[in-house]
Structures are given as structure tokens and as C-alpha cells.
Chains A and B, each alone.
Chain A
Amino acid sequence: MKLTDLPDSRGHFGPYGGIFVAETLMAALEELRVEYEKARQDPDFIAEFEYELKHYVGRPSPVYHAKRLSDAYGGAQIYLKREDLNHTGAHKINNTIGQALLARRMGKKRVIAETGAGQHGVASATVAARYGMECVVYMGAEDVARQAPNVFRMKLLGATVVPVASGSKTLKDALNEAMRDWVTNVESTFYILGTAAGPHPYPMLVRDFQCVIGRECIQQMPELTGRQPDAVVACVGGGSNAIGIFHPYIPYENVRLIGVEAGGAGVETGRHAAPLSAGTPGVLHGFRSYLMQDENGQIIETHSVSAGLDYPGVGPEHSWLKDAGRAEYVAINDDEALAAFGDLCRLEGILPALESSHAVAYAKKLAPTMGRDQSILVNLSGRGDKDINTVAKLSGITL
């Protein structure tokens, strides 16, 4: 079986993925699976999705040769896939448009979403406004506090933001709460899941909607450099921007695929969000994948400067790509990500999201080990305006 043929009909990527949910959601997931199967073969659906990506999101997003950054880091040339230039400022909108179109097809007038950094929440609120749907966004109380600008953006877009005060008050708890809402309102509500995780068919359909990133790169890189990159680097929280750029590159065997997890205070400290680097397989949020868990199988709290990477699990396809050896996964600590954030601001005039800064930070390590004629493609998954309060606070500055 080819790596690109997965998942199987029940959502398995080897031992990962699947459908691990309570009975109440089984029918809804089956309905979604059947409807998505029809939609992906419907030329009208594909055409509308592509139209929206072009005219509403502003795709294709450019690939940019970061010359000054490349010179500063030394070694390989660094190219940035500018998902930060999308409408709403991140790759998340690719997926929310796809899912909103599905919701509309299925006659659902109410959408719900979970959000960590707030990017997916904003992208969901945006498409709900665009297609005239009611929108409720669940967000960990801690994230509500550290991502105030995005909370306000969602409210401006007409969404209701519900702070979740249970558990660790971050993304995983927001996901629990969104699932509870869905169980309760399953007939009227479409759950717009924000990453390539959750029960089947979500990991597959989110990946499919995000694959536009990698497909564009496959066109754009040869136009810029005459060939495909030597390495593709993307940050991995749940892993949707990474799978979006990795998946089309899977058949290109000479292209290294490198996922960058949040190392937090350092993987060795235990205070991180790097399940692929330091976790073990388990079941959470409807699927099997690498997880951060303790000796009793309880999920442990994660730590990252970046709210969007602060998640104890990871999309099942990444677990599979890791085990299959097709992708490598590494961790970047908070301070390394912050340094890369500063580099990109000062050297290129680009303010990256703290999530994407993890990918830039790894390119900083990787580039000097490669030749100047080689290239690294970094998925710059989002812009960093939302993070300026966090960065200011860490620098001891009051805005």
C-alpha cells in the first residue's frame, strides 16, 4: 500500500486514527463521511471551494525567498510559503471554508469550533459570517486570557466565544467542550474541527482541504529554483498546516519532511507539547495517535509559548509518517522560537506567528548543515500580530 492511499475506509493510518467516540456521535460521523465522499467527487463542490480560495482567501499564497534570513543563518536557501498572507492571517481558513461548504451542503445552520491560539476560531467565525451561520467557539480560559485580540476579532465577526475553565484550560479542554456541545446538538450542528485530528473522517478531510498548500508549492518551487526543495519544514501542533504541505510531497522521495513540535521549556524538562518526540501511542479525542500521558494513561498538561501548539496529541497521519520513516519530527524550545520570531521580524520585515516561528527556528539549525545551493521550504503558517502581547510580556514590556 502506498503512503498516500491512507486512511483506509474506517479512517486508519496503520494503527493510528480510527473512530473512538461515544455512540451518540457515530451516526453524525457516518453522515459526514458519506456526505464528504459525495462532495469530493462533485465538480461543483470542488469548483466552489477553489473559487472561494482564490477570491476570498487570496490564493495562491506566494513562496518567498528569504535572502537576508538565509544569509544570516548561512547554508541552505530558505523559502517561505506565505500562508500568513491568507485572509484571516493563517492557513486555518483553507479548512474552515471547506467544512463550511460541507455544513451548508448538509443543511446545518449552526457551526461550532474549538480554538487554541484563536486562529481557527477566527477562521470559523469568518466563514460563519460569510455563509450566514450561527457560530459558537470554545476556547480554554487560559488561551482567552493570552489571546485577547483574537477573542475580540471573533466577537466582531458575530461569534459567541465560550471560555472553558475545566482541566488545563487550553486547547484540549476546548476540544472536549466542543465535542460535548456536538453530542448535545448533533442534529442541528456542524462541528468545524480545526486540525487534522479527531475521529474519522476529520483527519482526512482537513488534510484534503489543506493540501492546497503543498500542491501550490510543488508548482511554485520549480518556478523559483528550477527544482523541488531539499527539505520541507512545518510546525506541528495538531498538525494541519504540516500535513497540508507534507502530503503532496510524500511521493517526492528526495524531499525531507520535517515536523517541528513545541519543545516548551525543553523536552528533557517534561514541560513541552511534543508527543511525537517524547510521547507514546494512546487514544484521545476520538483517535489513536502519539500522546503525552502519564504512567496511568492520563493525559498530561502541555507547555508552550505558542497556544496553537499547546496540545497533547497530534494528527494520526503524522504518527503514521513518523513510524513509516517518511517524515522526521523534532522539537524547538520556547526561547529558540522567540529568537527566530525576532530574526524574521528584523531581517525580512515579516512578523510570524509563534507557531510558525518554531519551523523557522528549526530551519536556523538545519540550514548551516546544508549547502548554499540547497533549499529549505518553511511553511509560514500564520502571521504574528496576535502574539505581540505575549512577546511583549516575555520581554518585560507593557503595551
Chain B
Amino acid sequence: MSRIGPTFTALRAQNKKALVPFITAGDPGKGYTVPLMHALVEAGADIIELGVPFSDPMADGPVIQRASERALANKVGLKDVLAMVAEFRRHNDATPVVLMGYANPVEHMGYEKFAQAAKAAGVDGVLTVDIPPEESSGVADVFKAAGLDPIFLLSPTTPEARVEQVAAAAGGFIYYVSLKGVTGAANLDTGEVAQKLAMVRRHCALPVGVGFGIRDAATAEAVARIADAVVVGSRIVSEIEMAAENQCVERVKHVVAELRRGVDAATK
């Protein structure tokens, strides 16, 4: 059973919204990922999104692409990422972990084998950016059977008729991409997002997370007012990129704490 559903239930009971920070596994170095994950939780993360590095991250902007390149230079592959999650689980059995990445490393390992290994490592959900529901027949079922939530994206370009179809395949939560573009893009229009979320909720009972374009406490607060979860990636990854390696954990903690204050301000 995944930890994601119960996490949202507990947050709702406390009238809180979820903060979901993203880091790329293996960035800036292999040894930093587990300490960074613990730091994220300490600073207020409810769910961790852990990026699986890929050589061709088509849906990502330059910030996360560079993180992927750094991780690959550190020779971090999918097996290493699973080992990192298992290591994290030795001291944290509560915080859900979602792997986010691209199809090919998973396909190369084999969906069944990956699902078993991910579950054993303590993974709760999997978002493969380039496997839409149309191509996921079998894949989503394999994940579900292993007790992993298949997380799917919705975007501003998703027509209403399709939302239902995506929601039917999805588990855990729906990840609404707040704007057209790659990760790290700017100019979030929360009014537009709010309208779209109302439509999404008509077709989908799962909690809805919103990501792309959230950079500070103010944008986190604005999104937390309309979504169940606030997903932040590039802002945190660029902090890791700019920090001296030995300071990256502290810097990330600082940023995530600020985002936490923003998310909590929305429900005060």
C-alpha cells in the first residue's frame, strides 16, 4: 500500500496542503541524495519527488537537464536511485517518495522487475513523464499490482474529455502542469490554473498537485490556495547547482522552509 493516499488524508484532517519538493537523484553527488531527502522532510516536505536521471530529458528545462547531466556524470542509474530510496527508508518510513523520470531506464530494466524493486526499496509512486495513459496499458496495471501509484500529468492543453481518461488510469494524485512549457519556465497565472482545476476536479476524485513556475513563498501560497499539493522542482535544483557542494543541504533546507511558510499561509 502506498503512503500517498494516507498522507493526503492526514493533511486534510489538519487543514493543510502538501508541499512536494523535487530533487534529481545523484545531484550534486551520489552521497548527497539521502541527506538531502532527510533535509527536505525536516524543512517541511510532505512528499518527496526524486528525479531519475536521463540522458535526454525532453520535458525538462535547462536547470533540471543540467542536474540530470551532473547525476549521469556521477554514474547514477535507476538501480542506484532505488538503493538511495532504500537507504532513506532506514530512517524514514512515513514520507511518501515518488520517482519521476522518463520511460527508457524503466523499460530497459523491465516494468515488472522495476515495480517489484521499487516497491521493495520503499517507493510509493512513479511518474514516467513520457508514458501517457494511451501507452500505459499494462504499465499502470503493473505498477498498481505492485502497490505503486501511477502518477499522471494533466496540462493546460488537455481537453476536458481526456481528463476523465487520465484520471481513470491514475493513482495517488494528479499532477497538473500549470503552464505550457518545460520545467523551470516562469509566469504562472494562478487565476487560469484555478479555472482549469475546477474542471479537473469535476472528473477526478484524486488530490491534485500543481507544479511548474512556483519559485517562492508567494507563488507557493497562491497555488496552495487552489491545489491539494504544491510541487517545486527547478527552484530547489538551481539552489543545489549554485551552492558549494558542502553547503547544498543547508541551502535546500532554507528554501524549502520558506516554501513551507508560503504553503501554510494559504490555509491560515
Chain A residues in the interface with B (C-beta under 8 A): 10, 18-28, 166-167, 172-173, 176, 179-180, 183-187, 280, 282-286, 288, 291, 293, 295-300
Contacts and interface: CB of A to CB of B under 8 A. Distances in A.
B56 A20 contact: no
B82 to A, nearest CB: 12
Contacts of B54: 298
Given A21-B130, A176-B56, A176-B58, A282 B104 contact: yes
B152 A23 contact: yes
B134 interface: yes
Contacts of B159: 27
A22 B105 contact: no
B135 interface: yes
Contacts of B62: 166
- Residue of B56, B109, B132 ringed by the most chain A CB atoms within 10 A: B56
B101 to A, nearest CB: 10
Contact of B108 (A10, A27, A185, A297): A297
A24 B152 CA distance: 12
Interface centre among A166, A173, A293, A297 (most CB of B within 10 A): A297
Contact of A23 (B55, B102, B132): B132
Contact of A26 (B57, B69, B158): B158
Interface in B43-86: 53-59, 61-62, 65, 69, 72, 77-79
A187 B155 CA distance: 13
A186 B65 contact: no
B181 A183 contact: yes
B181 A19 contact: no
B16 to A, nearest CB: 27
Interface of B: 53-59, 61-62, 65, 69, 72, 77-79, 102-109, 129-132, 134-135, 152-159, 162, 166, 177, 180-182, 185
A24 B185 CA distance: 14
Contact of A28 (B57, B72, B157, B182): B157
A143 to B, nearest CB: 16
Given A20-B103, A22-B153, A23-B155, A298 B132 contact: no
A23 B154 contact: yes
B155 A24 contact: yes
Contact of B104 (A10, A180, A299): A299
A185 to B, nearest CB: 8
B157 A186 contact: yes
Contacts of A283: 102-104, 107, 130-131
B180 A296 contact: no
A293 B130 contact: no
A148 B161 CA distance: 47
Contacts of A176: 56-58
A285 B104 CA distance: 10
B180 A183 contact: yes
A178 to B, nearest CB: 10
A20 B130 contact: yes
Nearest to B109: A297
B192 to A, nearest CB: 14
A20 B131 contact: yes
A166 B180 contact: no
A288 B130 CA distance: 11
Contacts of A173: 56
A22 B102 CA distance: 10
A293 B58 contact: no
A283 B107 CA distance: 8
Most chain A beta carbons < 10 A, residue from B59, B130, B153: B130
Contacts of A26: 132, 134, 155, 157-158, 162
Contacts of B61: 180
Contact of A19 (B59, B78, B134, B162): B134
9 contacts: A23-B158, A24-B156, A180-B182, A183-B181, A184-B181, A186-B157, A298-B53, A298-B54, A299-B55
A187 to B, nearest CB: 8
A282 B58 contact: no
B157 A298 contact: no
A55 to B, nearest CB: 37
Given A22-B155, A297-B109, 6 more contacts: A22-B129, A22-B177, A27-B159, A166-B62, A179-B58, A283-B104
Contacts of A27: 157-159, 162
A205 B72 CA distance: 35
A295 B108 CA distance: 8
B214 to A, nearest CB: 17
A168 to B, nearest CB: 9
Nearest to A286: B130
A239 to B, nearest CB: 19
B77 A24 contact: no
Contacts of A185: 180
A296 B132 contact: no
Contact of A298 (B58, B77, B166, B185): B77
A24 B129 contact: no
A183 B56 contact: no
A297 B107 contact: yes
Contact of A22 (B58, B77, B78): B58
A117 to B, nearest CB: 20
Contact of B55 (A10, A184, A186, A298): A298
Nearest to A179: B58
A204 B106 CA distance: 27
Contacts of B177: 22-24
